[in-house]
Structure 1
Amino acid sequence: MTVEQGLNVELREKSEVQLIDLREEHAPLVDNHWEYQTHETIDYIKGCIQYNFGFGIRQTNQSELIAWIAQTHYGGGGMLYTKENHRKRGYGEMLVRKLTKHLAKSNQVPSVVVGSDNTASIRLNEKIGYRRVCKVYWVVFENH
Structure 2
Amino acid sequence: MNFESVKYVNIKGRLWNPKNQVQFYEDGSFFVAEHNGFAIPSDEVPETFNEHFDRYLKLRSMHGEISLAGIPIRQYEALKSNYKINWTEICWLYYYDGTGYEGLTSEYTFESKAYTLDVLRKSDISKVFEHYTYKDDGIGYIESIIENQPTQCARYKGLPVSWVVQREDGSLGIMYTLESHRRKGLGEWLSKHLIHQVIQKGEMPYLHIVVGNAASVALVERLGFKKYGKIVWFGVQNPYYKTGGVTD
Place the TM-score, normalised by the shorter chain, in its bin: 0.7 to 0.9
> Is the aligned partner of 1:114 residue 2:209?
yes
Measure, in 2, the Cα distance between the counterparts of 1:14 and 1:66.
13
Structure number with the higher strand fraction is 2
State the match for 1:44 in structure 2.
141
State the match for 1:25 in structure 2.
123
Q: Which moved more, 1:124-133 or 1:7-16?
A: 7-16
Corresponding residue pairs, total? 136
Q: Which runs of 5+ in 1 are unaligned?
A: none
Identity fraction in percent: 26
**Once the two structures are superposed, what CA deviation does each residue of 1:9-34 show, in whole Å capped at 9, x if it has no partner?**
66365131001011122121111101
Q: Which runs of 5+ in 2 are unaligned?
A: 1-95, 237-248
Asked if the contact 2:154–2:161 (Cα under 8 Å) also holds between the matched residues in 1, the reply is yes
> Is the aligned partner of 1:11 residue 2:104?
yes
Question: How high is the TM-score relative to the length of structure 1?
Answer: 0.85
Identify the match of residue 165 of structure 2 among 70, 83, 89.
Answer: 70
SS of the equivalent of 2:206 reads coil
Asked if the contact 1:67–1:91 (Cα under 8 Å) also holds between the matched residues in 2, the reply is yes
Moved over 3 A (4+): 8-13
State the match for 2:223 in structure 1.
128
**Once the two structures are superposed, what CA deviation does each residue of 1:92-133 show, in whole Å capped at 9, x if it has no partner?**
111111110110011111112222121111100000100111
Q: 1:104 to 1:43 in 2, by over 3 A?
A: same
Matched letter for residue 86 of structure 1: H
Structure number with the higher helix fraction is 1
Measure, in 1, the Cα distance between the counterparts of 2:103 and 2:177.
20
Give the superposition deviation at 1:8: 4.0
Matched letter for residue 133 of structure 2: E
Q: 1:98 to 1:8 in 2, by over 3 A?
A: closer
Measure, in 2, the Cα distance between the counterparts of 1:135 and 1:96.
22
Q: Which moved more, 1:104-113 or 1:9-18?
A: 9-18
Asked if the contact 2:173–2:207 (Cα under 8 Å) also holds between the matched residues in 1, the reply is yes
Asked if the contact 1:9–1:97 (Cα under 8 Å) also holds between the matched residues in 2, the reply is no
Measure, in 1, the Cα distance between the counterparts of 2:135 and 2:159.
20
**Once the two structures are superposed, what CA deviation does each residue of 1:63-103 show, in whole Å capped at 9, x if it has no partner?**
21110111112101100000011100000111111110110
Question: How high is the TM-score relative to the length of structure 2?
Answer: 0.51
SS of the equivalent of 2:209 reads coil
Q: 1:70 to 1:140 in 2, by over 3 A?
A: farther
Structure with greater contact order relative to length (CA < 8 Å, sep ≥ 6): 2
Asked if the contact 2:165–2:172 (Cα under 8 Å) also holds between the matched residues in 1, the reply is yes
> Highest Rg: 1 or 2?
2
